[in-house]
Amino acid sequence: MVSGEVRALAVAQYARQQAAAVRAAARVRDLWERIDHRRISGSWQQLAPLLVAAVSEAQRDAAALADPYVAAVAEAEGADPTAAGRVRPGAFAGIASDGRPLLSLLYQPVIDWKVRMLAGQSPDDAFRGSLASALRITRLQVADAGRGATGAAMAGRRTIQGYVRVVQPPACARCIILAGTEYGWNKGFQRHPRCDCIHLPTTLIARNQHGRVGGEHFTPTTRPGQSAAGFIDPRAYFNSLSAAEQQRVFGEAGARAIREGADLSQIVNARRGMTTMTAYGRTVQATREGTTRRGAFYRQERARTEARTGTRFARDRIETRQGLPRFELRTPRLMPEEIYRLAASRDEAVAMLRRFGYLT
């Protein structure tokens, strides 16, 4: 269970990291607006030390939050907060999260600026695009410094067994389905360029919960004027969204399937392998997700064929060498959009959603 005290610690940590990112973005904006549009590269080079200093300082500030945060979580859970070592905030500053010097990364928006003008954008539009890129880089690098330092702080405390992913609204579909997922302490934090999800270190990971946290969930706060408190329950967050927002994030057919009871992860992951193919005598939208030998849809179809034919198929190479036949998946896995297009009734749609692995 995630206690109210631990929940409050995570929300406060997020707010502090966001404040550091906002401060850095404000400084970068001020500096970027001083670049001379007539000599972009030369002017940027003069400002580069100040740009690097602005982002580095915020990275250091975000990293410095890690030890107190992880220690507070350990204490709140009644665990020993003693650390084998302390985080060195400076070690997370001045470098980009992909390992290159921060100076090199901060030059990317300059390249973007010039490419935009070569593509025919007006000087003002090209400048605004480069500024948006610089601010996006700034916020991400500050957030990554905080996340990296938190990972190091967790590693230094043996009582921390792992962490839960806390997702901040508004969020993309990929992050939403990861909300509340448990990871080991040594599992890197996966994120996309605008991701602001954070760790919730915990000593109470229940290994028999199949990767999900039970009990309380963070209440989604997405109404205007309310701060984002984060959430670890994907379904609760989905239910809190308006129908229009559900469709924006998951697509019209995806949102409809989820409201019908489909699994969020199956809907989102299906789009990752989306393709168009010819099947059933027509062109259909299908997905390759879940169709490999280790995929859920593949296993489901194998079990279904075994039950229908009475044939047992090999599960691995050993059973193949022993003479058992290997199952070949010949049925394309239809996308929810295609299911709704083909289904003659709601009952048939539900049956097809179940048939293609979107409903249990």
Radius of gyration of the chain (CA): 24
Q: 291 and 197, same structural domain? A: no
SS3 of 5, please? helix
Domain hosting residue 309, numbered range: 264-355
Number of structural domains in the chain: 2
Residue 148 domain flag: yes
Half-sphere exposure of 311 (CA within 13 A, CB side): 12
Question: Can you tell me which residue has the tokens 């997020």?
Answer: 14
Domain boundary among 164, 192, 209: 209
Q: Which two tokens stand for residue 132?
A: 């948006």
CA separation for the pair 345, 120 (Å, rounded): 50
Q: 195 and 107, same structural domain? A: yes
Residue 289 domain flag: yes
β-strands 274-279, 282-287: how paired? antiparallel
Q: 271 and 174, same structural domain? A: no
Q: For residue 176, give Cα distances in angstroms to 82, 94, 269.
A: 33, 31, 12
Q: What is the full per-residue pLDDT of the chain (360 aa) written as tens digits?
A: 455 677 788 888 989 999 999 999 999 999 999 999 999 999 999 999 999 999 999 999 999 999 999 999 888 888 887 787 888 898 889 888 878 889 999 999 999 999 999 999 999 999 999 999 999 999 999 999 998 888 888 888 878 888 888 888 888 888 888 888 888 877 777 777 778 788 888 774 433 333 333 334 444 433 433 444 677 788 888 888 889 999 998 889 889 989 988 888 888 877 666 677 777 667 877 877 778 887 888 888 899 889 989 999 988 888 888 889 988 887 788 877 788 778 888 788 878 787 888 776
DSSP bridge pairs for 231: 167
Q: 185 and 114, same structural domain? A: yes
pTM: 0.71
Q: 307 and 203, same structural domain? A: no
Residue 252 domain flag: no
Residue 32 domain flag: yes
Q: 145 and 273, same structural domain? A: no
Residue 102 domain flag: yes
Q: 174 and 49, same structural domain? A: yes
β-strands 198-202, 182-184: how paired? unpaired
Q: 118 and 28, same structural domain? A: yes
